[in-house]
Structure 1
C-alpha cells in the first residue's frame, strides 16, 4: 500500500508539471518545461534505485514508458536501447562467456588462478582483479567482466568465499582497467577526435597509462584493505558448500564427507573388490587417479586395480576413514588435492534416485547391470522401507520404491535424468559440459577479438559473430544461449539509455554544466582539473559515459583557456573521469554483476562512494606527479 501511494504521488507530481503552463514554470524556476521534467524523472529514477521499491529492471522499463509519454524522447528512441550497440554487445558477450564456460575453458582458468593464489582470498581477489584490468585495457570492460564472471562464480563456490566479496572488486577493476590505454574505453577512444576539432595534438596509445595503472593499483588495495567492511556478505543457502544437504543428513548418519588418500609405493596392488572397503570399513571408494597413466575414473568398479602412487577419493566419516587408512597403510590428506576441482560441489555431488515400477533396474541387482560401468556414478547407500543399508546391497534385487543414494559428477546425473532409470528426489545442480568443443569456443572468441582489434568492426557485430559461431558449431544450443542471458541486466540498461538521451537533448546536461562552472570564481589549474573531474563523475552517473565526454570535452577546453589551464590535459581529465561510475549500477559492468553478486543499490553507494573519492584523489595525485 505504501509503495502504491508513493508511486501515485510521484506520478501526480510529474503529471502536474506536464500540464502546467510552460511560461509559469520558466518564471518560477528559471527553466523550461522539458528541463524540469527531465530533472524530475532523473530524481524519480535515483529514488527508486536507492529505495528499492521496485526491481532495478522495472525502473528501466518505467523509463522506457514514462519518457515518451512526457514527450521528452520519441517512442523510437525510448525503445531504441534494446537494439543499441551497448545492449546487443552485452547480450553477445554473455553468450560467448557462457560458451567458454560450458566447454570447461573457464574451469581451466579458475584452476590456474587457484594454483597461483592458493586459498588466500586476498591473493585471489588481487590476481583476478589485476588480470581483468589488464584485459580491459585492450577490450571493452563489459567484455572482460562478462568473460571472467563464470570463472569467479566457480572459484567462489569451490573455495566457499562469498561471491559478493569477489564480483565487485572484479567489476570495478574492469572499469578502472579501461583507463590504462587510449583504446580501453569509449570516452578515451573519442578523445583524439574531439581534440582534432580544436586542432590540438592527439594523445598516444599509452599517454594515459600512468594514471590508469595508479587507479587500478589503488582500486585493488582499496578492496584488499577495506573489502570486509564495505562489501556485503550475501548469505548463501543453508546447504551451500555442504557435502550432505541438511534434508539428507538425518537419514544418512554414516556419511560425513569426501576424503582423499594417497597410495604409498610399498602398497601391494589389488582390485577394489579385494579391498572391500564398504563392508570392512564403512567407506565407499568413489574415484581413482592412476598417476602412471594420469587417468581418472570417477566411478571405479570392482575390477579396477589400485596401484602404488595412485590417489583415491572415498566417502565416509572421519573415524571410519581414519581406520581405513591405518589398516591399509594409506596416507590421509588434509584436503582434496588431485580431485579438488573434479569433485568440488560445483562439479559433483550426492543425489537420491528412486526406483520406479518402470525403471530398467527394477527386479535386477547392481552387479547384474554392471551399474558403475554403465551409468558412471557411485551407489553409496540403499534405503528400503525406512532402513538404510550401507554395504552388501550390490547383490540385492532392487524393488520399486527403493531409494539409492548416489555420488557422481553432475553431467552424468543430467544424462541419467533423460533415461528410464530413476526418479530423482533431489536437485541436480550441474550442467552438461562439452570439453570436446573447447577449440571451437576459443576459435570464435578469437574471431570476435580479431574483428574488433584488427578490422575495427563494430563491437556488437563482432561479438554477435562470435556468439553465432558458437551456436553454429554446437558449442551450445540456441536455447542454451537464450537462457544464459540475464534479461534483467538487458532491460535495466535499455531503459537507462533513453534517460541519458533526454538529459542531453533537453539541454539539461549543458545547463547544469555551465551553471556550475560559471558559478565558480578564479581557479588554479589543478583546482580547475578537480572541478572538471567532479563534474564529469556526476554526469557519467546520469548520462552515458560517451554522452558526458562529448558534452564536457568542448566545455572543459573552452574553460581551460579562460583559467589558464592546459586544454589537452582538461580533455584527458574528462576522458578518464568518465570511468568514475561506481555509486549506482548504471554502468554496464555494475549492472552485469548486480544480480550474480546479490548486490543492492545501497551496496554500490557504500562501496562505490569510497571508490569515487579514491578515484578523484588518485587522479589528482597522478596529474600532479606525471603531467603538471
Structure 2
C-alpha cells in the first residue's frame, strides 16, 4: 500500500498530539479540542465525525457512570466500602494499593472497566485522605488493574464482547469462546500487575510527597486556637472504674479536654458528640481532644490507657466526615443571651463546643456558664453534615466554608437499587452501555439521591473533552488507510513466523493501535487480519483472534484510554507519569499475555 498525503498528515497529527501530552504545552482537554478542530480542517474526517466523540458510547457512558458514582458516594455507600478495605489493610500503602486495585480488577471483569474505576474512585480518594497515602499511588494502580480486569471474562471489555461476532475467516465460522475461556490468562495478568506495583511501586509511581493527615484545626483557626490540642483515643479499663455519666467526670472543667465520641464495648455502638447525661462504662473507648499535657494527666488520674492512634473513630473523626469550625453569633441569632449549656449544642445539633472567644478572651474549661452575645465566637467540633444543618439555621456565621456535603444515608437503598437495575440491563438484557448507565444516573436524580446541579458538578469535563477529541483521531487513522498500512508493513516484514513470533507481532501491533484508536476499532480491524495470518502459518486462528482481543487492553503509557483519562486530574498525574509507570506494565503485559496464550490456547 502506498503512502498517501493524508496518511502523512494523520501521522504528523499523531506526532504532535504525543508531543503535547509529553511536554504539556497546553492542558490535555485543550489537546482534545484542538484535534477535533484540526482534523476536519485538514480534510481527514468529516465535520460530523469530528464531533462524534461528544455523543459516543464511551463518552456518554463516562458521564453517566461518574454521576452514578457520585450518587453512591453521597449516600455513604462508597465510604462504607472504603472502611471495609481499611479494616483489612490498615495504613500500609502496599496493602491498600493491592486491595483497591485487586477489588476493582475483579469488578471490571463483569462490567465495563471505566464503570468499575469511576464507581470505586470516590472510595479510593477517601482512603487516600484518611491514610495520608498519595492519591496517585492508589488511583494509578487501580486504573491499570481496572483496564486489565476487562480480560477476565467475555463481558469484561468491548473487544471481548465483539470477539465471537468476528470469528469468521474465508467463509468459515469458528467455534465461539465461552464466558470464562480467557479467565486463566486474565488472572495471570492481574497477578503480574499487582506484583509489578508491589515490587517496583516506589520507583515507578509519581514521586509526590505522602499526603498528610491534617490536625483538627485549619491554618486559619490554628493561629487563634493553637492550644486546643489534638485528638486522642483512650481506653477505659475493665477494673477500677465505675459507670459514670460525663457530667460527673467533669473532664472539661478539670482537664480542659472535650469528649468527642464514645464507643460501648458491649453494645458496640458509637456515640458521636455524647451528651452530659450519657454514661461511660468499663471497657469503653472514648475520643478526646486536648493538649498532650492534660491528656496525660487525665489518663494518669483515671488510670485510662492512651491508645497509639485514632482507630475506632478513624472514620467518624476523619477530615472527610468531620472537623472544627468557628461560628460567630449573628446579630439576630436566637442564641444571644443564652449560656452555652442552655443552647444544648450536643443534644440539638450533634456538635461539641471546644472554646468560646469573646472580646479578647478565650475560654476552654468552663464553657457551660458562658453567656453568648452578638459577635461571640464558638469553636465547635462535629460532622460536616451537622455544620451544614447549623448553617441553615442562620444563628451562626461560619468563618470558613463548610466542607463536605450532606450524606443522604436514607437514599442508600435507592442508589444501590439503581446500580443493580443498571447492571441487570447491561449484563442480562443487553441494553447498550450508555443507555443503561444514563437510565441509572437519571433514576438517581429523580429519586433524590443527588440534584441535577450536583450531577453536573460531579462530571469531570476535562476527561470528556480529552476523549471526545481522541475518538475522531482514531477515525482519521481508519479513513486514511494509515491503520491498515502499518499492519500490512509489519506483517510483510515478518514473513511466515512461528506461533511465538506471530502472537508477539499481533500483540505488539494491537497494543500500538489501542494507544491512539479505540480498542473496538483496533479489534475489528486486526482480528480478520490476525486469523488469516494464523491460517497461513499453521496456527489456530481462534488463538490469534483472542490475542488481539486481550492485547487491546494493553494501553498504559498514554492517558488516552478512558480509565487513564478519568483518574488523571483526581490523581494529579501528568502524561510523563503514565509513561514512567506504563512502559514496564506494557512490557510485562505482553510477556505474560504471550506466555499465557501459549500455555492455555496452543
Check whether the contact 1:157–1:241 (CA below 8 A) recurs between aligned residues. no
Residue correspondence of structure 1 range 240-259 to structure 2 within 5 A: 241-259=214-232
Tell me how many residue pairs correspond in the alignment.
599
* 1:337 alignment partner in structure 2: 311
Check whether the contact 1:165–1:233 (CA below 8 A) recurs between aligned residues. no
Check whether the contact 1:234–1:598 (CA below 8 A) recurs between aligned residues. no
Shift of 1:179: 0.7
Does residue 140 (structure 1) correspond to residue 112 (structure 2)? The answer is yes
* 1:260 alignment partner in structure 2: 233
* 2:574 alignment partner in structure 1: 600
Structure 2 CA distance for aligned equivalents of residues 495 and 87 of structure 1: 10
Structure 2 CA distance for aligned equivalents of residues 398 and 34 of structure 1: 76
* TM-score in terms of structure 1 length: 0.92
1:290-309 deviation line (CA, Å, top 9, x unaligned): 34444433222322222333
Shift of 1:240: 5.1
* 1:314 alignment partner in structure 2: 288
Task: Look up the SS of the partner of 2:173 in the other structure.
Answer: coil
Task: Look up the SS of the partner of 2:323 in the other structure.
Answer: strand
Structure 2 CA distance for aligned equivalents of residues 250 and 556 of structure 1: 68
Residue correspondence of structure 1 range 386-465 to structure 2 within 5 A: 386-465=360-439
Structure 1 CA distance for aligned equivalents of residues 117 and 143 of structure 2: 6
RMSD of aligned Cα (Å): 1.8
Residue correspondence of structure 1 range 142-181 to structure 2 within 5 A: 142-181=114-153
Structure 1 CA distance for aligned equivalents of residues 271 and 95 of structure 2: 32
Shift of 1:234: 3.5
Structure 1 CA distance for aligned equivalents of residues 132 and 97 of structure 2: 14
- Segments of structure 1 that go 5 or more residues without pairing to the other structure are 1-25
Residue correspondence of structure 1 range 79-478 to structure 2 within 5 A: 79-197=51-169, 198-235=172-209, 241-266=214-239, 267-478=241-452
Does residue 44 (structure 1) correspond to residue 44 (structure 2)? The answer is no
Task: Look up the SS of the partner of 1:312 in the other structure.
Answer: strand
1:443-493 deviation line (CA, Å, top 9, x unaligned): 110000001111111111111111111111111111111111111111111
Task: Look up the SS of the partner of 2:569 in the other structure.
Answer: helix
Check whether the contact 1:158–1:344 (CA below 8 A) recurs between aligned residues. yes
Task: Look up the SS of the partner of 1:596 in the other structure.
Answer: coil
Structure 2 CA distance for aligned equivalents of residues 320 and 34 of structure 1: 76
Task: Look up the SS of the partner of 2:43 in the other structure.
Answer: coil
* TM-score in terms of structure 2 length: 0.96
* 1:514 alignment partner in structure 2: 488
Structure 2 CA distance for aligned equivalents of residues 459 and 103 of structure 1: 24
1:176-235 deviation line (CA, Å, top 9, x unaligned): 111111221111111111113542222222221121111000000000111111111444
* 1:526 alignment partner in structure 2: 500
* 1:6 alignment partner in structure 2: none
Structure 2 CA distance for aligned equivalents of residues 383 and 236 of structure 1: 35
1:79-123 deviation line (CA, Å, top 9, x unaligned): 121111111111111111111111111111111111122222222
Check whether the contact 1:164–1:233 (CA below 8 A) recurs between aligned residues. no
Q: Which ranges of 4 or more aligned residues in structure 1 deviate by more than 6 Å?
A: none
* 1:539 alignment partner in structure 2: 513
